[in-house]
Amino acid sequence: MNRERTLERVEELGLLAVVRGESREAALEVVAALVEGGVLGIEITFTTPEAERVLEDLRDEYGERILLGAGTIEEPGQVEQAVVGGATFLVSPGCDPDLVSLMLETGLAVMPGILTPTELMLARRSGAEVFKLFPGSVGGPSHLKALRGPFPDAALLPTGGVSEENVRDWFAAGAFAVGAGGALAPVALKDGCHREEIVARARSFAEAVREAADSVAG
């Protein structure tokens, strides 16, 4: 999947689940529950043990049924691991110009992390097209809306502080899509009952995102 189509699909899905599994097995179990609940945008962070192997497992299991990406990229070596693992998009928590340039050289969709106008300007200058607003909890939807004042065309994807309860506010403020970590994806499943809870949460969260995006588009 090329970069343009990946970004189109991010916007279509409207939601990326940020998975920080406590182990390789735990991450795979969490993703299976999320996919069953209809969450198809999956970001595996490099804080997950054996992240590259998790990516490979998910690529082999789901193929293009899911939109698979790698997050919390902080080191050059992780860029190569993400590509080998089958990621279609790359996410960093911050905006290191050298690292962003290396990420862009892969030809994949790249989402550097930003919080301030200065960081957004640096990230745009690097060539990135979508920007992870992190942590979103610092300023909330009002901060995103304020950034879109001087940068009305900036595609901002807030992560951190996004919940089912406030997702409508994020889209109303102008979010391109949203990322959800702990509010959606636990580090591990406790038991069968808990798994059903995560499936139900995923289904409800995905529906809330669809309704929020539709309300803004309509």
Radius of gyration of the chain from its Cα atoms, rounded to whole angstroms? 16
Residue 41 one-letter amino acid: G
d(CA 166, CA 141): 9
Q: Which two tokens stand for residue 198?
A: 């995560």
Tell whether omega for the bond before 135 is within 30 degrees of 0, i.e. cis. yes
Can 145 be counted among the known catalytic residues?
no
Per annotation, catalytic residue among 8, 25, 43, 61: 43
Per annotation, catalytic residue among 8, 56, 61, 132: 132
Closest CA to 73 of 49, 117, 40, 103: 103
Q: Which residues are catalytic?
A: 43, 132
